[in-house]
Amino acid sequence: MALELVKEKWSNAVSTLTIGAIKEEGGTRQKVVQCGGEESLPFLFSEGKIPHRPVIAMEILDTPPDDWPLTLTSALGSAIKNPVEWAIKCEKEFKADLLCLRLAGAHPDAQNKPVDHLVKVVIDVLKVTTIPLILVGCGEDKRDNEVLPRCSQAAKGEKILIGEVVQDNYKTLTASVLADGHSIIAQSPIDINIAKQLNILITDMSLPHERIAINPTVGALGYGLEYAYSIMERARLAALSGDKMLAMPFICFVGYEAWRAKEAKALVSEFPSWGAELDRGVTWEALTATAFLQSGANIMVMRHPKSAELVRNHIDELMRG
């Protein structure tokens, strides 16, 4: 007798998030990116539709990063000195699905760059690229509340994904995003309850749930990856079982986490037995990403072109079923 696989039947699907707008929709993108929408756990094609593949956003900074290891910066070249060039490179050369611009220079402890300058960076990046944009602030609530609403206004029509809001600071940005037609990243500290609470708070402000992405906060391989994985898995199981307030696509800042790991950036001279640093760093980022693909990640924000390529090929294979 042939083996009959048990198929899970789910009552709900992940919501579909659309990033970017083409000309006809009021934007200037050549294509839009859709993510989410799956009716089953990751890559279980026989259990439900998986309409959109996971996508890779390449991360760029408005200010040259000063704490990125050489293995990373050398792969990006001189483009990291200029967000516009960097953006072009990510689109043309690295074939990114989206861009993720982080306004690190806005932080008061960094360069505390003026709002007008930061708004111009956003406009310039949008001008030279045709792929959809994710925009992330510096993480300092007060400063983000000052900078991001202005950027949101300036990008009106482009349907960008802006973040991040947290439970103690979500109102200002949610109001802007609502007014300007964008979507929002809701960040929670590896906590399924807070993730859900924040989504309820945001939707209570009448932002539709299709315009929210969950950043569950992840950890790199060796740095709590399993914990983040299980939280995502729980959230996704709840979503598929009918919980609309957890049914948003996940965005995972894989590059940010992986390249902080000592194993990713330590020099071979320090740890000769660990092997060449380039392979090590790239592998660390790629492995972290592939694990989260299995827990339901929809958008991977990555840094190294090589690991992005590895993960893209991996997604290709997984999507073949």
Q: Which residues bind another protein (CB under 8 A)?
A: 167-168, 171, 175, 191-194, 196-197, 200-201, 204, 245
Classify residue 1 by burial, with Cβ atoms within 10 Å: 0-12, 13-18, 19+: exposed
For the bound state, the minimum distance from the C-beta of residue 24 to another protein, rounded and expressed in Å, comes to 34
For the bound state, the minimum distance from the C-beta of residue 263 to another protein, rounded and expressed in Å, comes to 21
Q: Which is nearer to another protein, 152 or 283 (CB)?
A: 152
Residues sharing a CB contact under 8 Å with residue 319, sequence separation 6 or more, in sequence order? 43, 50, 53
Q: Which is nearer to another protein, 187 or 307 (CB)?
A: 187
> What does DSSP assign to residue 79?
G
Tell me the C-alpha distance between 88 and 101, whole Å: 12
Looking at residue 111, its amino acid is: Q
Q: Which is nearer to another protein, 159 or 196 (CB)?
A: 196
Q: Which is nearer to another protein, 103 or 240 (CB)?
A: 240
For the bound state, the minimum distance from the C-beta of residue 32 to another protein, rounded and expressed in Å, comes to 32
Q: Which is nearer to another protein, 111 or 145 (CB)?
A: 145
Choose among 74, 8, 12, 5: nearest CA to 209. 12
For the bound state, the minimum distance from the C-beta of residue 126 to another protein, rounded and expressed in Å, comes to 29
CA-to-CA separations, 85 to 62, 106, 125, 214, 217, in angstroms, rounded: 11, 19, 9, 29, 29
For the bound state, the minimum distance from the C-beta of residue 201 to another protein, rounded and expressed in Å, comes to 6
For the bound state, the minimum distance from the C-beta of residue 242 to another protein, rounded and expressed in Å, comes to 9
Q: Which is nearer to another protein, 84 or 194 (CB)?
A: 194
Q: Which is nearer to another protein, 82 or 197 (CB)?
A: 197
Choose among 304, 297, 305, 306: nearest CA to 318. 297
Classify residue 17 by burial, with Cβ atoms within 10 Å: 0-12, 13-18, 19+: buried
Q: Which is nearer to another protein, 79 or 198 (CB)?
A: 198
For the bound state, the minimum distance from the C-beta of residue 22 to another protein, rounded and expressed in Å, comes to 34
Residues sharing a CB contact under 8 Å with residue 307, sequence separation 6 or more, in sequence order? 255, 258, 281, 282, 283, 285, 286, 289
63 near 110, Cβ under 8 Å?
yes
What's the full length of the chain, in residues? 321
For the bound state, the minimum distance from the C-beta of residue 208 to another protein, rounded and expressed in Å, comes to 17
The answer to whether the peptide bond before residue 4 is cis (omega within 30 degrees of 0) is: no
